[in-house]
Structure 1
C-alpha cells in the first residue's frame, strides 16, 4: 500500500473511531461549545481575522447554541496539526489554508491556490457554480471532514528577497519559504523550499535561516515586519493568484447539527470569504504606499523567471494526474477558470484598461 492510500485508510479509520466518541448522546440538545483550531498565529493580520470572523458569525447567528472557541496555532495543537486534530475528533473544526495538507491529498491545493491557477473571483465562480464545492466535499469525506471556503487573501505577492532576482538561476540553493504546490515548483528551480507556519516566518528570515519568503501581500507583510529585514519586494507572484482559506468541521460533529445550524455554518463561511477578500484588498494599497515611502524597492520578475515558473508548475501539476480525484479536481477547476477568465477579460479587463487610459 502506498503512503497516500495508507493516509486515506488511516483517515477513514480514525474518523470511524471518532464517530464512537462523538455520537449523539455527547451532543444533546442545548448550547454547545465548539473548539476551532487554526493554522494562524494569534493576531496575524487578515488570516486570524478571518478565523475570528467566521467563529463570531456562527456564535451570533445561532444565538449561542453553537459557541465557537478559537485556538490559535500552538495554543492547542501546532499549525500543521489541525487537519489531523479535526479529522480524528480531537477538535471540532479548523480554519486554515488547505494547501498546507497536500501530503494528505494533493487535491487540497486547489481549495487554497495552485501555481498559475485561479484568481479570487475565478475561484468563487468555480466553487459556488461549477462543481468546486462538491469536489471539496468529496475530498473531505475521505478524511471525515465537512469543508467550506471561509476567506480569501486575493492575489499574493512574489515575496521578500535579500538580493534581486535577475534570472531563474538565482533560485539555485536559495532557502525560501513557500507552501503548497507552488513551493514544489520552486524546488524544481533548485530552491531549498521551507514550509513554515506564518507565526515562525519573521524569526526565520531575521535569523538567516531562510534567504527569502512569501507571505500574503502588502498589508499582512507590513504587519509581520518583513520590511525591517530586507527591502527588496516582488509584488506579483505565480503561486497564489487568489488564495482561498477554509473552514472544516469534523463530519460527525457537523452531521449532529440541526439543518438550520448546518446552513448557518455554510452561510457564515461564504460570507467570511467575501468579507476577508474585501479586507485584504482594502488595506493592501495603502500599505504598499507606506512600504515604498519607507524605502522598500518594488520589483517585478523578468519574463525568463515567469517562463521558468510556468514550466516547473506544469511539471508539478502533471505528475499528480495519476490520482483520479486530483485529475477530476484539476480538470474541473481549469475548465471553469478558462470560461470565467474569457468573459472577465473581454468585459472587465477592457473596461479597466480604458478607465486607466481615460482617467490617467
Structure 2
C-alpha cells in the first residue's frame, strides 16, 4: 500500500472509532447538580476554599456535567447543622469539622481531632494507610455519611483570653468558646465550654458573653478580629494537634455515582486536603507577625496546665471508651498509631526541626 493511501485509510478508521466512542463516554457521564453546604462563612477563605476547589476540578474534568455548588454556613442550613442536612438529603454533601457533632455520638470527634491526639501528617497516614477512613466510614453508615478527608489546619493555637492563665485554677469558671471533644476535658477543670459557629464568635467575645475563645490559628484569627477584644494569645492548642476537616456525602448519593465520578471526586477531595494545609502553612507566619505588631501578647500554657489537661483528657477518653464500643475501637487504633508515630517523629522530624528552630536567623 502506498504511504498516502495508508494514511487516508488510518485516518478514516480513527475518525470512525472516535465517532463510536464519544456517545459511549457521554452516556457514562450523566448531568448532575449537587449542593455542598459548609460550616464556614466565606470570609474564612481557607476552609471555604476546599469546597470551591473540588467544585472547580470536578466540573472541569467532566466538561461541566457534574457540578457541585458550595454554600457558606447559614445559606442553606446553619453552620452547625451541616451533617444533618446530608443525613436527611437536604443537600448531597457538606464540608465541616466533624467534632461539631459529638452530641450525636462522641465518635464524630475521631474524624477530626481529640486532645493530645495525632498531628496532621499522622492523621493523613492513619486515614490513608492504616484503615482509619474505612473504620470511620463503617461508623458513618449509621448516619448515611460517606466521608473523605478534605483539609487540615495543622496544630492550632490555644486561643484568646481576656486575662492571663497562669495556673490550672485560672481555668475554673472560665466561659470558653471551644469546639469539639476538648470541651469535655476542660469541663473536668471547671471550664464552661461554649460551642459557637465561627461567624458568631466575635460578638460573643466583645459583649463578654464568653471570656475566651479558640478558633484555628493566626491567619483566621486575625480575620475574625479577636485581637481587638482579647489581649492574650496562648499556645499550643493541645486539643487540636492536627484538625482534619471532612467532606461528607450522603451514602445513597455516593452509591448512585458512576465509577468515574467517584474517582474524580475522591481525587479532587485529596487535592483539597493538601491545599488547605498548604494555605494555612503559607499564611500563618506573616499573620502572627502582624498580630504581635498590633499588641497581641503571646503566652505558652504552663507545664502544669498541660499536664493537668492531659490527665483530664485521658479520664474522659477512658470513661467514653467504657460505654461506647465504636469510640473505643477507633480511639485505640489512633492512639496505637500515635505512639509509634511519635517514636519515629522523635528520631527524625523533631530533632531536625528543633535544630533548625534554634539556628533560625533572628530578624
> TM-score, normalized by length of structure 2?
0.89
Equivalence for 1:336: 337
Match of 1:86 in 2: 86
1:250-276 per-residue CA deviation (whole Å, 9 max, x = no partner) reads 111111111110011111111111111
Give 5+ residue unaligned stretches, structure 2.
1-27
Aligned equivalent of 1:254: 254
- State the Cα RMSD in Å: 1.4
Pairs within 5 Å for 1:168-247: 168-247=168-247
Paired position in structure 2 for 1:349: 350
Give the distance between the partners of 1:280 and 1:112, measured in 2 at CA: 17
Give secondary structure in 2 for the equivalent of 1:205: helix
- Tell me the equivalent position of 2:137: 137
Contact residue 29 and residue 62 of structure 2 kept, 8 A: no
For 1:298, the equivalent position in structure 2 comes to: 298
Alpha-carbon separation, structure 2, partners of 1:250 and 1:100 = 18
> Conserved in 2, the CA contact under 8 Å of 1:217 and 1:235?
no
Q: How many residues align?
A: 333
How far apart are the structure 2 equivalents of 1:73 and 1:148?
A: 19
Paired residues of 1:159 and 1:235 also in contact (CA < 8 A): yes
- The separation in 2 between residues aligned to 1:332 and 1:63, in whole angstroms, is 41
Per-residue deviation, 1:138: 0.6
Q: Deviations over 1:29-88 (max 9, x none)?
A: 631110111111222132112232233232223322221111111111111111111111
How far does residue 312 in structure 1 lie from its aligned partner after superposition?
Answer: 1.3
Checking the alignment, whether the CA contact within 8 Å between 2:147 and 2:247 is kept in structure 1 is yes
Distance 1:62 1:163, change over 3 A: same
Task: Determine the C-alpha separation between the residues in 1 that align with 2:319 and 2:65.
Answer: 46
Match of 1:319 in 2: 319
Counterpart residue number, 1:16:
none
SS of corresponding position for 2:345: helix
After superposition, what is the alpha-carbon deviation per residue over 1:79-114, rounded to whole angstroms, capped at 9, x for unaligned?
111111111111100000000111222111111100
- Cross-structure match for 1:17: none
User: How far apart, CA to CA, are the structure 1 residues paired with 2:179 and 2:230?
Assistant: 21
1:359 shift after superposition: 5.2
SS at 1:37 equivalent: strand
Alignment match, 1:263: 263
Looking at structure 2, the residues matched to 311 and 78 of structure 1 have their Cα atoms a distance apart, in angstroms, of 34
8 Å CA contact retained: 1:175, 1:193: yes
- Asked if the contact 1:125/1:336 (under 8 Å) is kept, the reply is no
CA distance in 2, matches of 1:157, 1:354: 22
- Conserved in 2, the CA contact under 8 Å of 1:227 and 1:291? yes
Using the alignment, how far apart are the partners of 2:359 and 2:243 within structure 1?
31
DSSP-derived class of the 2:50 partner: helix
Deviations 1:149-196 (A, max 9, x none): 001111110000000001111111111100111111111111111000
SS of equivalent residue, structure 1 residue 319: helix
Secondary structure, counterpart of 1:180 in structure 2: coil
Give the Cα–Cα distance (whole angstroms) in 1 for the partners of residues 332 and 62 of structure 2.
Answer: 37
Residue 348 of structure 2: SS of its match in structure 1? helix
Gaps of 5+ in 1: 1-27
Q: Do the aligned partners of 1:117 and 1:240 also contact (CA within 8 Å) in 2? A: yes
Distance 1:159 1:356 in 2: 23
Question: What per-residue deviation string (whole Å, max 9, x for no partner) do you get for residues 235-262 of structure 1?
Answer: 3121111000000111111111111100
> 2-side partners of 1:48 and 1:330: how far apart?
28
Query: Which secondary structure does the structure 1 equivalent of 2:313 belong to?
Result: helix
Q: Which structure has the bigger radius of gyration?
A: 2
* Local SS of the residue matching 1:41: coil
